Structure 1
Amino acid sequence: DPLMYKSIYDAIDFCHEVGLKQGLITNGLLLSEFSASRLDKLAWIRVSMNCLDYVDGITIPEISGTLGFSYVMNEKTTGLVMESLHCYVKKYEPEYVRIVPNCQATFAEQERNNEVLSATVENWRGPYFYQEKQFEAPKNCWWCYFKPFLLHDGYVYPCSSVVLNDLSERQFHNRYRWTLGDNLYRIYKEKMEPYPTSSCNKCVFKPQNDIIESILNPPIHEDFI
């Protein structure tokens, strides 16, 4: 969880001073102990409610920015966990509650998850929505420029979802290292080059990459769509 990072206060203060818009994704376990003044510098906070899979509960302080919840359906999901989630939604009134499938799945399992879970969540209404996760490698990966992932090993990965790929061994395998964290800024000074996708068979960002691809390579005539 990012709140465990020893320099998190300094990081938030610095980004705030240079005018960067900041958001936070957290499991919520340490939120009640976190600096209120730093929380006020965040535009949004998304709490992973999968914490309810392994703790009795959490306390969420008052949030000045947008508060959202997310929950990944998994083998630990039970009726009691879902009841608890619904109680937290009523208590804290998040702007949205994103439900996603467990992406540590086969292609067939993922198709089934999307079919069943989308219908289930649709009946919940309110702030709940289901976000499908489809596995498909894009022709080119530009998403790395928009959502690079800096891991504690000091390396930047093209995204946080490389662990889903069959060749990742369910970890941030060194085959997916993009660059060192200290060198990341240099990449943005150079011509954009797509990240190779030959090892990304379970990419979940193809729609985003397709949009970027269409912007980088617009049609010859604007009406030819």
Structure 2
Amino acid sequence: MTRACSDRKLAAYTEGVSLSIKGRPLHTLAPHPNPTENGHELPAIFQGRQPSSMEHKFTSTGIKFWKHRESMESYKAGTGRTVISTHIAPEGRCNLKCSYCSVSERTLHSTIELPRIQDYVTKLRGRGLKAVILTGGGEPTLYKHFNELGEWLLDQGLEMALITNGTQFKRVSDRILRNLTWVRISMNVFKDWEKKIEIPRERFGPQTTVGMSVCYSAENKDPEFLRKVAQFAERAEVSYVRVLPDCMLPQAALIKEHEGLTELFKTLEGSTRFFHQFKIHGAPCQAKCHQSFFRPYLSEAMDPVTGRPGLVFPCDSVVLNEQAQRFRPRYALCTPEEILDYMDGKIPQQFDATQHCTGCVFTRNVDMLDRYVNGREDRFAEYAGTEVHHENFV
């Protein structure tokens, strides 16, 4: 990491103000560098930590970009065929209320019109789009046009994935479930959760990877809870269980939770399904969010200008900036109708990532893309002959 980059990161954090959320004071996020480049701000056990094989396989660690030479070279050349995947959060409603929800302050009854989503996807297909992740926002399967949207996406020849709380699979068509590339169930703690969360394994296709995600929070710290999750996962034959802390925590508390989770994982030795995802806050080393050109995020957030639901953001971690717990319009890239103008540079990014994206959990990816654009990193040859799991979901 360069000295200039380190200084910019420090400035991005120290210019902040104290915040509070639900009456709980939060301090300005402490600065931290990318742990793979300079780990002195982290506890010794995390210094130089590299993502595990499970993290590479089931999360966004950056390596999947190197399987997309055409998109990467197009970005460097400025020719606009950069898009690989997109997240779409069509619905603000949710049937659960989790204490650690990162978007709990969202507009709960905000729904994107189906034709707007279809137009957005059609535009991106012309720029290389290969895969769509349906997510929240609220619970995506509550979207009144969910089946129509999902089957339309399949008709476009796109890969599709789903992030859900797992309580509403009965609403989803057999065709959609049969053709999902992957589905991730966010495990939430509520009375009789193990009876109400359903994983209809027989309805998924043989290619569908089924995983679970658990937030290591006050409700979930008991080792007995994770043992119950392990039993549930075994019965449901899921491929993995991702465990990570509440990313809404301030940096120091977040790192402390990672330490506790590391100790807890020592009690899970022998379980090959569990993996610890290491996410901490940071700000990229450059003002421009390169990643937004490869995997934009269409949120159901309300456009303050038009009053219509639907704005495009660079990613979902912007909700961690300023601990907002919602998608703030200041981080929006454009409306879905304007997505190609953004891709072509006709609409400038309205924020400086080094100053404003202090909650970013994709710093590794953005900084890697910056090194590529500036000729300091090229790993195409390294991954050319390597199979990368779910490579279209960057």
Give the TM-score category using the shorter length.
0.7 to 0.9
CA distance 1:221–1:203, change in 2 (3 Å): closer
CA distance 1:219–1:193, change in 2 (3 Å): farther
Q: Deviations over 1:65-119 (max 9, x none)?
A: 1111111112222535434312211111211111111011111101111222123
What is the alpha-carbon distance in structure 2 between the residues aligned to residue 188 and residue 27 of structure 1? 32
Which residue number corresponds to residue 60 of structure 1?
199
Gaps of 5+ in 1: none
- Let me know the Cα RMSD of the aligned residues: 2.4
What is the alpha-carbon distance in structure 2 between the residues aligned to residue 22 and residue 199 of structure 1? 31
Stretch deviating more after TM superposition (88-97 or 116-125): 116-125
Stretch deviating more after TM superposition (21-30 or 151-160): 151-160
Q: Is the 8 A contact 1:122 1:129 kept in 2?
A: no
Alignment counterpart, residue 156 of structure 1, candidates 294, 312, 315: 312
Q: CA offset at residue 193 of structure 1?
A: 6.8
CA distance 1:145–1:112, change in 2 (3 Å): same
Question: Counterparts of 1:9-88 in structure 2 under 5 Å?
Answer: 9-50=147-188, 52-53=189-190, 55-57=192-194, 58-62=197-201, 63-64=204-205, 65-77=208-220, 79=222, 81-88=225-232
Q: Is the 8 A contact 1:99 1:129 kept in 2?
A: yes
Alignment counterpart, residue 200 of structure 1, candidates 340, 357, 360: 357
Amino acid at match of 2:200: P
CA distance 1:89–1:218, change in 2 (3 Å): same
Which residue number corresponds to residue 177 of structure 1?
332
Q: Is the 8 A contact 2:295 2:314 kept in 1?
A: yes
Alignment counterpart, residue 114 of structure 1, candidates 248, 258, 268: 258
What is the alpha-carbon distance in structure 1 between the residues aligned to residue 233 and residue 248 of structure 2? 26
Amino acid at match of 2:333: W
Amino acid at match of 1:30: Q
What is the alpha-carbon distance in structure 2 between the residues aligned to residue 220 and residue 40 of structure 1? 39
Within the alignment, does 1:165 sit opposite 2:321 as a pair?
yes
Stretch deviating more after TM superposition (179-188 or 68-77): 179-188
Q: Secondary structure at the match of 2:356?
A: coil
Percent of residue pairs identical: 28
What is the alpha-carbon distance in structure 2 between the residues aligned to residue 118 and residue 109 of structure 1? 14
Q: Deviations over 1:11-61 (max 9, x none)?
A: 2122212211111100001013421111112111111112x3455331211
Gaps of 5+ in 2: 1-138, 301-308, 380-394
Which residue number corresponds to residue 125 of structure 2?
none
Q: Is the 8 A contact 1:137 1:200 kept in 2?
A: yes
Which residue number corresponds to residue 210 of structure 1?
367
What is the alpha-carbon distance in structure 2 between the residues aligned to residue 221 and residue 18 of structure 1? 32
Q: CA offset at residue 220 of structure 1?
A: 9.3
Equivalent residues, number: 220
Which residue number corresponds to residue 304 of structure 2?
none
Amino acid at match of 2:255: E
Q: Secondary structure at the match of 1:24?
A: strand
Which residue number corresponds to residue 290 of structure 2?
142
Q: Secondary structure at the match of 2:163?
A: strand
Q: Secondary structure at the match of 2:211?
A: strand
Amino acid at match of 1:129: F
Q: Secondary structure at the match of 2:198?
A: coil
Q: TM-score, normalised by structure 1?
A: 0.87
CA distance 1:165–1:190, change in 2 (3 Å): closer
Stretch deviating more after TM superposition (75-84 or 195-204): 75-84
